[in-house]
């Protein structure tokens, strides 16, 4: 194995890891606040991909400007989704909320397939590349990583430094007590769901600047997100970013190992099972 | 003036009825206490008043307004605040963040600084602990945070559920001193206590609950003298 290939795949893995982390962040936020596993996560990522594509194709919007609009749309969509699909079953057992979000998954995939078919699409965006030695870094990846970091810091700032964010943590911690203190917990849950969906759709938009995609592409990232969320500790946004980086690295290394590419998910889920067995609070879980 | 008026309230859990047409009133600026054996419906009453469980029948009025079916957070925003049993702190958040969450109602937010100073003055231990995670505090300190968090909301009526449960006698004494101080400041309060002796000693008015009904009521001093109460609750 030569050192050039190794460093190239490490850098590559690391860089995609940030975006995996961002994709998982919405899932972990929603679970952390309301103990709902959002099975519509993957399709929502795909909606983010198509939203940025449509904005670029029809309105000629720059994808990064489009991203901002997509995230705002995501916030509104998420709040709507919460009231339509989640709120009525929020106090029901987990299976019920799983089914509720899974039905949203099926609806998005169904409608998306009718509208867009399942043939691959791609966004036409290029920001050149940076080259150092054997390592070539795409400008789009660099910008995507930067945005992922900004989103993580932004979410952290929101949760720990703003009143609304602290209310989100209070509701996550003890919903009845939050109500007793005058916090409108229904609104806080809807807001959290909205932010989770905004993050998922935003990560979809960023992924669309890097790879071609179909309406079914979200599923891959949903599955990765589950592994990352468990790795990073359920409900921990910073843990999600770190977990994403770990999975990205693992994938990068797998590409230069003698193993066929088909083994990558096996390795990922191997990690998933081992973490659940050995350290169910996640590698970066606080408690 | 009556601050809180509960009329013939009925409620319970699932099929099980706990409260059977219970009525009580809190007078403004006075300390009222509810005593009664375990299972007499004290906690259920407070949960029904706050809307954490629905009232089946009867009504709850606060400051002249019918609030029976108002959501919990709206009641809290109006100034009807409960310091719940077992404290129910935001254990993953710091003491200061807990207090900040207490100051959620708009009128509490605008006076946040002054109220915080007043609360730290009343419970100085919390100032030392303010950046510590609430879940790491001792039971007594956690109860102080629960009281302080309630006070931060600038309540017009403050209700305590089992203030002294599971705490050391020294800690119970100092918490009761806080209650007495608040009473001197004419805060309307409702104290639900299993420590009947102390509750009756500091209160103005008392209700004795039994099987979800008011068994007797009266000035706390008089209730304390009653033969039935002495036998049943004071072990005399």
ipTM of the complex: 0.94
Instruction: Check residue A51 and give its pLDDT.
Output: 97
pLDDT at A1: 58
Percent above pLDDT 90 for chain A: 73
Residue with the larger pLDDT of the pair A152 and A2: A152
Average pLDDT score over chain B: 94
Give me the pLDDT at residue B188, please: 98
Q: What is the pTM assigned to this prediction?
A: 0.93
Residue A225 pLDDT greater than 50, yes or no: yes
Mean pLDDT confidence for B35-52: 93
Strand pairing report for B205-210 and B31-36: parallel
Asked if residue A254 has pLDDT above 90, the reply is: no
Residue of higher predicted confidence among A276 and A159? A159
**pLDDT confidence band for A285 (50 / 70 / 90):** low
Judge whether A187 is closer than 8 Å to chain B, CB to CB. no
Helix (H, G, I), strand (E, B) or coil at B38: coil
Q: HSE (CB half, 13 Å, CA atoms) of A246?
A: 23
Residue A277 touches partner B, C-beta closer than 8 Å: no
Q: How far is B67 from chain A (nearest CA, A)?
A: 14
Domains (range + CATH), chain A? 3-278 (1.10.3470)
Q: What's the rounded Cα separation, in Å, for the pair A184 and A95?
A: 26
- The reported pLDDT for the residue numbered A8 is 87
C-alpha distance from A1 to closest chain B C-alpha (Å): 47
CATH of domain B2-79+156-233: 3.40.50.300
Interface of B with A (CB under 8 A): 50, 52, 71-74, 76-77, 81-82, 84, 88-93, 97, 100-102, 104-105, 149, 153
Residue A265's pLDDT band (boundaries 50, 70, 90)? Answer: confident
User: pLDDT-based confidence at B194, cuts 50/70/90?
Assistant: confident
Give all strands of the β-sheet with B80-83 in edge-to-edge order: B80-83, B157-161, B188-192, B31-36, B205-210, B213-219
Chain A residues closer than 8 Å to B72 by CB: 176, 179-180
Q: Do B81 and A180 touch (CB under 8 A)?
A: yes
Output the pLDDT for position B36. 87
Q: Judge whether residue A284 has pLDDT over 80.
A: no
Q: Between A126 and A217, whose confidence is greater?
A: A217
Q: Which residues pair with B31 in a beta bridge?
A: B189
**Confidence at residue B71, expressed as pLDDT on a 0 to 100 scale:** 97
- The DSSP line for A124-170 is -----EEEETTEEEEHHHHHHHHHHHHHHHHHHHHHHHSHHHHHHHH
- Considering only alpha carbons, which residue of chain A is nearest residue B149? A181
DSSP string across B166-228:
T--HHHHHHHHHHHHHHHHTT-EEEEE-S-HHHHHHH-SEEEEEETTEEEEEEEHHHHHH-HH
What pLDDT score was predicted for residue B104? Answer: 96
pLDDT computed for residue A96 by the predictor: 95
**pLDDT per residue as tens digits for the range B65-119:** 999 999 999 999 999 999 999 999 999 999 999 999 999 999 899 999 999 999 9
Domain positions in chain B are 2-79+156-233, 89-154
A168 touches B: beta carbon within 8 Å: no
Nearest to A41 by CA among A257, A193, A209: A193
Q: pLDDT value at position A287?
A: 44
CB-neighbour burial class of residue A69 (10 A; exposed 0-12, middle 13-18, buried 19+): middle
A171 CA to centre of own chain: 22
* pLDDT tens figures, B120-161: 999 999 999 999 999 999 999 999 999 999 999 999 999 999
The whole-chain average pLDDT of chain A stands at: 92
Confidence (pLDDT) at B143: 96
């Amino acid at each position: 194995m030569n050192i050039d290939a190794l460093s190239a795949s490490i850098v590559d893995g690391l860089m995609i890891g940030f975006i995996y982390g961002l994709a998982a962040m919405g899932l972990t936020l929603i679970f952390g606040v309301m103990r709902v596993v959002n099975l519509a996560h993957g399709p929502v990522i795909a909606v983010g991909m198509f939203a940025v594509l449509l904005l670029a194709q029809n309105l000629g919007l720059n994808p990064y400007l489009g991203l901002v609009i997509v995230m705002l749309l995501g916030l509104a969509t998420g709040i709507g989704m919460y009231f339509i699909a989640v709120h009525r079953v929020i106090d029901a057992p987990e299976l019920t909320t799983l089914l509720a979000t899974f039905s949203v998954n099926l609806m998005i995939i169904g409608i998306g397939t009718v509208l867009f078919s399942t043939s691959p699409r791609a966004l036409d965006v290029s920001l050149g590349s940076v080259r150092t030695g054997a390592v070539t870094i795409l400008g789009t990846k660099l910008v995507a990583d930067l945005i992922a970091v900004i989103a993580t810091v932004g979410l952290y700032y929101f949760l720990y430094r703003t009143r609304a964010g602290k209310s989100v943590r209070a509701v996550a911690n003890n919903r009845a007590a939050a109500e007793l203190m005058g916090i409108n917990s229904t609104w806080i849950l809807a807001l959290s769901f909205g932010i989770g969906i905004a993050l998922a759709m935003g990560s979809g938009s960023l992924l669309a600047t890097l790879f071609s995609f179909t309406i079914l592409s979200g599923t891959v990232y949903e599955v990765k997100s589950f592994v990352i969320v468990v790795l990073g500790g359920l409900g921990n946004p910073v843990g999600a970013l770190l977990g994403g980086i770990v999975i990205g690295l693992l994938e990068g290394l797998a590409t230069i190992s003698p193993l066929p590419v088909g083994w990558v998910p096996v390795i990922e889920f191997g990690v998933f099972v081992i973490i659940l067995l050995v350290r169910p609070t996640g590698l970066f879980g606080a408690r | 003036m009556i601050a809180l008026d509960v009329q013939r309230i009925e409620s319970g859990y699932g099929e099980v009825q706990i409260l059977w047409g219970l009525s009580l009133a809190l007078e403004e600026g006075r300390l009222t206490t509810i005593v009664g054996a375990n299972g007499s419906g004290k906690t259920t009453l407070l949960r029904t008043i706050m809307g954490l469980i629905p009232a089946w029948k009867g009504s709850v009025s606060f400051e002249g307004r019918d609030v029976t079916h108002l959501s919990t957070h709206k009641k809290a925003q109006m100034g009807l605040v409960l310091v719940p049993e077992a404290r129910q702190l935001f254990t993953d958040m710091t003491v200061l963040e807990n207090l900040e969450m207490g100051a959620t109602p708009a009128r509490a937010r605008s006076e946040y600084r002054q109220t915080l100073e007043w609360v730290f003055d009343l419970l100085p231990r919390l100032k030392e602990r303010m950046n510590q995670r609430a879940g790491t505090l001792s039971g007594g300190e956690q109860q102080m945070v629960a009281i302080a968090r309630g006070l931060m909301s600038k309540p017009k009526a403050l209700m305590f559920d089992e203030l002294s449960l599971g705490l050391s006698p020294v800690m119970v004494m100092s918490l009761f001193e806080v209650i007495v101080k608040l009473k001197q400041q004419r805060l309307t309060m409702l104290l639900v206590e299993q420590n009947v002796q102390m509750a009756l000693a500091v209160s103005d008015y008392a209700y004795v609950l039994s099987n979800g009904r008011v068994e007797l009521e009266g000035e706390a001093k008089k209730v304390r003298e009653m033969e039935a109460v002495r036998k049943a609750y004071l072990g005399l």
